[in-house]
Chain A
Amino acid sequence: MRMLTKIAASAVLLAALAAAPAQAAGWKPTGPITLSVAFGAGGITDTLARLLADQMKKDTGWNIVVKNRPGGGGVAMLAGLSRAKPDGLNIGIAVNMPIVMQLIVRPAKIPFRIKDFDYLGTVVWAQLAIIALKNAPYSDMEGLIAYAKKSGKPLTVAHDTKPQAMIMNAIARAAGIKAKMVPHKSGAEQMQSLLGGHVDLAFGGGAHIPYYKAGKITAIASVNQRRHGYAPDMRTLIEQGLNYYVDPFFYISAPKGLKPEARAALSNAVKAAVNSEKMTKFLANTMKTAPTDLGPADTEKMMYGTRKTIKVLLESTK
């Protein structure tokens, strides 16, 4: 499985490398390009952005400066980016979920909309799973729901973002079981609560993988649209008959109004850097997955799709 993705990645890489210089020749930046990062120094997004910038610099010869602009899960960075000139010298990297969530829940407080940006591509999607301790009396959603109905006791569920809580609430409501949502600050803290037996279920965004490999936890469902590479037998929620998912994407955008040739050059440079060997290795180490660039058109579709997904979730928990 891993081998296959590797081969696929290198094939894409070769194709991209062959294509990139030819198309990039059509447009040249008039100065240094600023890549704004929606989170602070030292985090995964920061490192991702710096790798990306390094690789783009190497491939194209453009000067790219990385700037951190943390605040509101990306709201602060995108607010600034939406006001910048669409000259191709300002691009930003963010994660779709927190942004779209804020746009839906409190639009009046957010100074931009999805349509205010030109989308250039994505870097990777984050895997998210529902997990339980190995000795739990269930190993999939069906068993979980049956158990919860039989015991009559509410399930305690750790989560660290609102959409995670919404998914679990939606499932509980649909299945007629009770669930208590216990907020956490990070995936690592969720693992701590799960391993210590303080909650029944948790959401794993990567921190759970070593525990899965060590046989200490059961992977109950993939919350994404696809299954995960490290646990190919774990079915998605959708496959288990529960029609909910979230797909957190790291994506790159620019202010609306880029010239078509600039947009093409930038998105090609992004594609080549995303599929580079360095990035592939980095993502295999950190997120246990392969790079995924949707390309400009599908990235935009993904953003509107995310909006639809969250709206559906909100409806089903009302």
Chain B
Amino acid sequence: MPSLNRLTGVACALAGLCLLLVVIPDQVEAIEDSGVQPATVPTAVAWVLMVAGTFHALFPTGDTPLDVPEALRAGLFLAIVGGGVYLMSEIGFLYVAPGLVLAIMLVMGERRWFVLWTAALPVGIWAILDLWLNRPLP
């Protein structure tokens, strides 16, 4: 079973290969003109990723401080915030942000009464920006 550290090297090398063969031809235009091609730097990056990734897969150094349960919880919070941002685009910051703050604190396990006070913070931010500075939030 290869170590996780080794696998990250393999992943980098594959990413470099994919960049070189698929993404760059598809997403970077070739210019019929003298001068430096737009793809120059991305191509160099792709080669560096392949070489350094392969090297790392063969001779891994350093460590991987990955904490799987923590990463999963972080993913959960990311999903909550991402959902909040989506709702902001639909309903608006003023209505979503206090709920978002409350949701985060409740998922963290906070059950004390002052959570309600914290929910007032986004309302304050909204008031300053939207009403006073005339810079509307979504």
Closest B residue, CB atoms, query A106: B29
Closest B residue, CB atoms, query A41: B135
Is A33 close to B, CB under 8 A?
no
- Give the complex CA separation of A259 and B35 in angstroms: 49
Chain B proximity of A155: nearest CB distance (Å): 15
- Give the complex CA separation of A41 and B136 in angstroms: 13
- Give the complex CA separation of A181 and B33 in angstroms: 12
Is A67 close to B, CB under 8 A?
yes
Is A65 close to B, CB under 8 A?
yes
Chain A proximity of B19: nearest CB distance (Å): 21
- Give the complex CA separation of A311 and B136 in angstroms: 39
Chain B proximity of A52: nearest CB distance (Å): 14
- Give the complex CA separation of A66 and B134 in angstroms: 8
- Give the complex CA separation of A65 and B135 in angstroms: 8
Closest B residue, CB atoms, query A181: B35
By a CB distance below 8 angstroms, the chain B residues around A41 are: 135
- Give the complex CA separation of A67 and B134 in angstroms: 9
- Give the complex CA separation of A67 and B135 in angstroms: 7
The contact string, 1 if C-beta is below 8 Å from chain B, for chain A 140-162, is 00000000000000000000000
For chain A residues 56-73, which have a beta carbon within 8 Å of chain B? Answer: 65-67
For chain A residues 12-71, which have a beta carbon within 8 Å of chain B? Answer: 41, 65-67
By a CB distance below 8 angstroms, the chain A residues around B35 are: 181
- Give the complex CA separation of A202 and B80 in angstroms: 51
For chain B residues 19-63, which have a beta carbon within 8 Å of chain A? Answer: 35
Q: Contact residues of B with A, CB < 8 Å?
A: 35, 134-136
Residue contacts A-B, CB under 8 angstroms, 6 given: A41-B135, A65-B134, A65-B136, A66-B134, A67-B136, A181-B35
**Top 3 A-B pairs, shortest CB-CB distance:** A65-B136, A67-B136, A65-B134
